[in-house]
Structure 1
Amino acid sequence: MAVKSGYKQTEVGVIPEEWEVKPLQEVGKFAKGKGLLKEDIKTSGRIPAIPYTALYTDFSELLNYDHIKWFVDDEAQTYIANEPCVLIASSSNMAANTGKASALTRTTPVAIGREVIIFKTALDCGYISFLLSTAQYRQTTLSLARGTTIKHLYPATFKNYRIALPSISEQRAISTALSDMDALLGALERLIAKKRDLKQATMQQLLTGLTRLPGFLGQWEVKTLGELFNFSGGYSASRDQLSNEGHCYLHYGDIHGAKKTCIDTSVDYEDIPKLDISLKQISLGSLLEDGDVVFVDASEDDDGTSRHVVVVNKDRLPFIAGLHTIIAKSKTDELAHEYRRYCFQTAAIRKQFFFYAVGTKVSGISKSNIPKLTIPVPSVPEQTAIAAILTDMDAELVALEQRLAKTRTLKLGMMQELLTGRARLL
């Protein structure tokens, strides 16, 4: 394929003619951090410190570094950086963190801990850190990492990396543009976290009756789940038996992994695993109907014992509850369907799940114990009003998360264009 005018083919791809290609060892020097054991790090002190775990955060967090929360007093026990540099996490048990690079722009002393590779250069450190974070270099870095459970990298890993180099002014312009995108992503993430905390606080107030909505008075009844529901178990099928064909199947692992507390057969149909089986083999108690609540009966941690989803199945599609699930089917109409999405998420309910959970490595609750749990029940109109407020908060969170995802995609596109010179800022 012909290279367009003003560009040239190089070993790192097609780049602008005026850009150079050089190995990292020719444009800087490598060093290793040292010290910073857990007992050395304090929450306050004279010298700010960067243990290797700090590099697992996004670039923007290190670029301004106003949030620093680690310090040391004895600078002789660690590596002190006094100039801008690129910091690379040289050790991690997670691929996503192995070799993660960040730019440190401070010119005041900073203690750099062990398991951190330091790259000192006169180039723009932000530009280098973004370049090392592209898919091309990440793939190479991960392929060179050594170790099984924990992956390790060394300065020698990076010395021969050949990189495309625009002028220093263009490097800075690219770094600034991408750092601005990181700042926007960070602001969105903080806003989402704040909205989630607000929703949790609102739920605790409204679902326990500590705060009452205008127009609603009177005492709430307290009911056992056994008074409100009949309970049954699911049909056992392994993940290997599931495919894209057959009837919808709710695997308990998908409840644990769900980001929401409802599953809608019309909205989520394509994402729901299928089991190709005759319905004659499935008991009526294992077929999920609109408004059913499905709890998991096993979890590897305490928080998972109360995991559940509410089924939205207005089209009455065949939907099979799976292995390790407990299906709650209404005995009465005392709980509004929309309210069920929230009423099992309070701290009081989770505490009851923990109390009745049994097991050591795997904990769970049984069909004989779950009916004993109690829940406060307001009137249906008050339930509906509460659910409407929480649903609006959920909708706002979904919109923000979609915006965050689009911004991340936009940043990846900008990196691809700017770091290859396809788009120019100067």
Structure 2
Amino acid sequence: MGVMLGYKQTEVGVIPEDWNVEKLGSHATFRTGPFGSALHKSDYVYGGVPIINPMQIVDGKLVPTLRMTISASAAQRLSEFRLCAGEVVIGRRGDMGRCAVVEPSADGWLCGTGSMIVRPKATLDGRFVQRVLSDTRTVAAIEAASVGTTMINLNQGTLSNLLIPLPSRRAEQASISEALSDADALIESLEQLLAKKRQIKQGAMQELLTGKRRLPGFRDAWKLKPLGSFLAIRHGKSQHEVEAIDGQYPILATGGAIGRASAYLWAQPSVLIGRKGTIDRPQYMDAPFWSVDTLFYSDVHAPNSAKFLFYRFCLIQWKQYNEASGVPSLNAKTIEQIEIEAPQPDEQAAIASVLTDIDREIQALEGKLTKARQIKQGMMQELLTGRIRLV
């Protein structure tokens, strides 16, 4: 297949004709962080000048640690390692591609031993090169250059010789990084909205499931009852005889679905909880399922109570009922004897409905967030190779 008109084949793939393949070292200089011996125990203070090691580079941002800071005098002594706004700091050890642009608020912070400073020249936009360095293709190229080493340790030579596709105009570099920043802003806003919605749900659970707040139309007193009076206990069974790749029913274990089954063990709304290991992650099922290594409770005593009990299970600190010194374990009888205050079935159903609606909103936001991340990933693939050009 030929190359599209206006594009050319290069060492790094197909790029626009007016782009170049350049060594990063032709457009930037580098400074490795100071040796550990350059910092002394007396240099470290609480709340001083932040040191940026790989652990302080999180999702393309610099996140300082208050206990990983040094005095102003020590920072002055190591001035050649201090960061300037517009530069890029990248981790040299561990996961490659962990890098961030130095914002004005981080000007003067110190590059740590495990990091390296990339100082762009006038021909290179810092935000653009940060995107390139965090791209999966660049990470793969760095890892390939480190084959044969026991641990990938990025050095100045590898980074200097790194070939990158580069728009000849700095303005186009800036436009690409700005478009990706807009995608980041959307993702961040969705993350914040999702976190807020989860907090709202947690607050609603704490109030509605304990009777601190009542829904309109309900006034009957709540009664203290053991969990065994609501749900009947059942045990999971081995899945070997019913496992099937194209099975119609999920096989549920303590961590979630682990396969498919050709038959179901139970078909009533149920609350599942692990017997060993993961004992504090209740699951809810209202469709036929097979279960292994779990205890599950079905609403044979009180119709429509299973969803209410599922949310109520989520409030219980299950580890306090652990009955083993090694792997955390739960005993069915112990669970059945736990007492909770609960309303009449109609109020249980109303509470469960409110919380279910919040869950649906959370799921919708999670879907939007997943899609936004996928779109951003696609944008990086297209924009950083010039397959899509910005006006």
Bucket of the pairwise TM-score, normalised by the shorter protein: 0.7 to 0.9
Q: Percent identity, aligned pairs only?
A: 34
Aligned to 1:121: 120
CA deviation vs aligned residue, 1:198-243 (integer Å, no higher than 9, x gap) = 11111111111111122222321121122223323211347xx955
**Partner residue of 1:340 out of 292, 309, 320:** 309
In structure 2, how many angstroms separate the alpha carbons of the residues matched to 1:224 and 1:146? 61
- Do the aligned partners of residues 293 and 150 (structure 1) sit closer, same or farther apart at CA in structure 2, a change above 3 Å counting? farther
In structure 1, how many angstroms separate the alpha carbons of the residues matched to 2:173 and 2:221? 66
In structure 1, how many angstroms separate the alpha carbons of the residues matched to 2:164 and 2:356? 49
SS of structure 2 residue aligned to 1:368? helix
- Do the aligned partners of residues 344 and 144 (structure 1) sit closer, same or farther apart at CA in structure 2, a change above 3 Å counting? farther
- Do the aligned partners of residues 145 and 295 (structure 1) sit closer, same or farther apart at CA in structure 2, a change above 3 Å counting? farther
In structure 2, how many angstroms separate the alpha carbons of the residues matched to 1:176 and 1:382? 51
Structural mapping, 1:357-396, within 5 Å: 357-396=322-361
RMSD (Å), alpha carbons: 3.0
| 1:305 aligned partner, one-letter code | I
**1:358 shift after superposition:** 2.8
TM-score (norm 1): 0.79
In structure 2, how many angstroms separate the alpha carbons of the residues matched to 1:44 and 1:396? 39
**1:77 shift after superposition:** 5.9
**1:333 shift after superposition:** 1.1
In structure 1, how many angstroms separate the alpha carbons of the residues matched to 2:19 and 2:129? 14
Structure 1: runs of 5+ lacking an equivalent: 256-270, 280-285
Are 1:320 and 2:290 matched, yes or no? yes
Contact 2:254–2:273 (CA under 8 A) maintained in structure 1: no
**1:68 shift after superposition:** 8.3
Contact 1:146–1:153 (CA under 8 A) maintained in structure 2: no
In structure 1, how many angstroms separate the alpha carbons of the residues matched to 2:370 and 2:136? 18
In structure 2, how many angstroms separate the alpha carbons of the residues matched to 1:150 and 1:290? 52
- Do the aligned partners of residues 37 and 13 (structure 1) sit closer, same or farther apart at CA in structure 2, a change above 3 Å counting? farther
Aligned to 2:190: 188
In structure 2, how many angstroms separate the alpha carbons of the residues matched to 1:38 and 1:414? 45
**1:354 shift after superposition:** 1.8
In structure 2, how many angstroms separate the alpha carbons of the residues matched to 1:43 and 1:289? 58
Aligned to 2:31: 31
Are 1:292 and 2:261 matched, yes or no? no
- Do the aligned partners of residues 405 and 41 (structure 1) sit closer, same or farther apart at CA in structure 2, a change above 3 Å counting? farther
Structure 2: runs of 5+ lacking an equivalent: none
Aligned to 1:267: none
CA deviation vs aligned residue, 1:307-329 (integer Å, no higher than 9, x gap) = 1212212xxx4x3211x211223
CA deviation vs aligned residue, 1:50-90 (integer Å, no higher than 9, x gap) = 232121x222x34xx8x986753231368312352222222
Aligned to 2:216: 214
**Partner residue of 2:259 out of 247, 260, 273:** 273
- Do the aligned partners of residues 50 and 40 (structure 1) sit closer, same or farther apart at CA in structure 2, a change above 3 Å counting? farther
- Do the aligned partners of residues 405 and 246 (structure 1) sit closer, same or farther apart at CA in structure 2, a change above 3 Å counting? closer
SS of structure 2 residue aligned to 1:203? helix
The count of aligned residue pairs is: 379
CA deviation vs aligned residue, 1:350-375 (integer Å, no higher than 9, x gap) = 2xx22220334421212232222222
Aligned to 1:11: 11
- Do the aligned partners of residues 247 and 20 (structure 1) sit closer, same or farther apart at CA in structure 2, a change above 3 Å counting? closer
In structure 2, how many angstroms separate the alpha carbons of the residues matched to 1:243 and 1:91? 44
